[in-house]
Homo-oligomer: A and B are copies of this chain.
Amino acid sequence: MLKVYLSGEIHTDWREQIIEGAAKLDVSFDSPVTDHESSDDCGVAILGAEPNKFWYDNKGAKVNAIRTRKGITDADVVVVRFGEKYKQWNAAFDAGYAAALGKSLIVLHGPDHSHALKEVDAAALAVAEEPRQVVEILRYVLTGSLPG
């Protein structure tokens, strides 16, 4: 079985597209918590309020890291999606983390971001623009079948 971690952008349905497209393949998927509000609030909701925004964020980011670290560490393939908006530094951080662990990295982004992502893409084994292409890579890697 191929273990795939889906990191990055959480505002579109790219994860669902990949998971549905790969439904018949021997793949297991993991991803961060994608509910933006829960992800932001988890630290204080569980471990107690923080009036200072920095520590509010810090507590939450660390709780989320428990999930993220396991997801990346256990994965064979890490897919990192960069969307159109926001800084998405956590996505690039995950890509660097995965690269240092020797994970197979697939980066998913539109052509506008190619120059800004050149260091990330240079560490990847595939750079795709569409979730469909990630599904096709997974199918090929697992079965040898090419699209069409």
Contacts and interface: CB of A to CB of B under 8 A. Distances in A.
A126 interface: yes
Copy count, this protein chain: 8
Chain A interface size, as a band, is 35 or more
A62 B148 contact: no
Given A35-B144, A125-B66, A46 B137 contact: yes
Interface in A84-99: 86-99
Given A97-B96, A146-B42, A47 B102 contact: no
A114 B56 CA distance: 11
Nearest to A41: B146
A111 to B, nearest CB: 8
Given A58-B118, A97-B97, A116-B86, A45 B146 contact: yes
